[in-house]
């Protein structure tokens, strides 16, 4: 997903085109997808489609470019401001493209965020081979993260955004790492039913579980992959692989 406007970057450049170690963030995200042998990559873009596609075309071979499909996420005006309608809407934009390729219902779809360039390759591979799963982490300080709650069998019970947690839920240290591996069946039965979250005024991908009876596995990562939300976040990873 690379369609977010990245307003916290305070920059006129697309968020995913900000560079780390001389390469734009989206370069690392595509490399992550390639590392798990992705057959096709759907890159969700918005107003910066041309800039992103131009950048990607200079970074990869034609063999890789032939695997890439750019999907435009429509933008909306809200209170006079141009905005995207969230992660759930980004995945919704891909559904029609999925239909064009006639994928079977058990096709696995790995969902990555364009502002999360660095993910442990072994943990990502483990997630990508576990159908209908979500990556989580057990952290000492869960402040700011959505919480993951498990049922008695160890599967996903529900996800709660930090801002909506009560005191008991805030004490939970299992957090959402924001990386998903879901079957085409689960996506098609759940994504169209997601309603706008009136707190954030967005369609949240994290609500998908409300509309499927399929058990969702929780794969724990050793840490939460870092989101690059502001320019100050970028140097954190300058010297890390």
Q: Domains in the chain, please, with CATH?
A: 7-229 (3.90.550.10)
Q: What is the pTM of this model?
A: 0.86
What would the two tokens of residue 42 be?
Answer: 């759907």
Confidence of residue 238 (pLDDT cuts 50, 70, 90): very low
Which three-class secondary structure string do you get for 83-108?
ECCCHHHHHHHHHHHHHHCCCCCCCE
Q: For residue range 148-189, what is the model confidence (pLDDT) as tens digits?
A: 999 999 999 999 999 889 999 999 999 999 999 999 999 999
- Give me the mean pLDDT over the 32-60 stretch: 94
CA dist 238 and 234 (Å) reads 7
What would the two tokens of residue 77 be?
Answer: 């005006």
Say if CB 42 and CB 69 are below 8 A apart.
yes
What would the two tokens of residue 111 be?
Answer: 């969902």
């Amino acid at each position: 997903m690379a369609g977010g406007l990245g307003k916290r970057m305070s920059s006129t450049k697309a968020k995913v085109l900000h560079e780390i170690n001389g390469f734009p963030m989206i370069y690392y995200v595509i490399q992550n997808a390639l590392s798990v042998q992705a057959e096709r990559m759907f890159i969700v873009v918005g107003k910066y489609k041309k800039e992103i596609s131009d950048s990607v075309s200079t970074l990869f071979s034609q063999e890789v470019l032939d695997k890439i499909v750019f999907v435009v996420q429509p933008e909306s005006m809200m209170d006079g401001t141009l905005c995207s309608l969230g992660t759930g809407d980004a995945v919704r934009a891909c559904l029609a493209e999925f239909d064009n390729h006639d994928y079977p219902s058990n096709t696995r779809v790995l969902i990555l965020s364009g502002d999360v360039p660095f993910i442990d390759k072994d943990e990502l591979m483990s997630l990508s081979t576990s159908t209908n799963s979500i990556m989580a982490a057990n952290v000492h300080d869960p402040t700011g993260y959505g919480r993951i709650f498990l049922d008695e069998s160890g599967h996903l019970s529900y996800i709660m955004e930090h801002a909506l947690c009560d005191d008991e839920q805030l004490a939970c240290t299992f957090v959402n790492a924001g990386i998903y591996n879901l079957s085409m069946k689960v996506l098609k039965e759940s994504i169209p039913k997601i309603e706008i979250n009136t707190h954030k005024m967005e369609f949240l991908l994290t609500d998908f579980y409300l509309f499927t009876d399929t058990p969702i596995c929780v794969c724990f990562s050793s840490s939460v992959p870092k989101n690059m939300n502001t320019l100050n976040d970028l140097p954190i990873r300058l010297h890390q692989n």
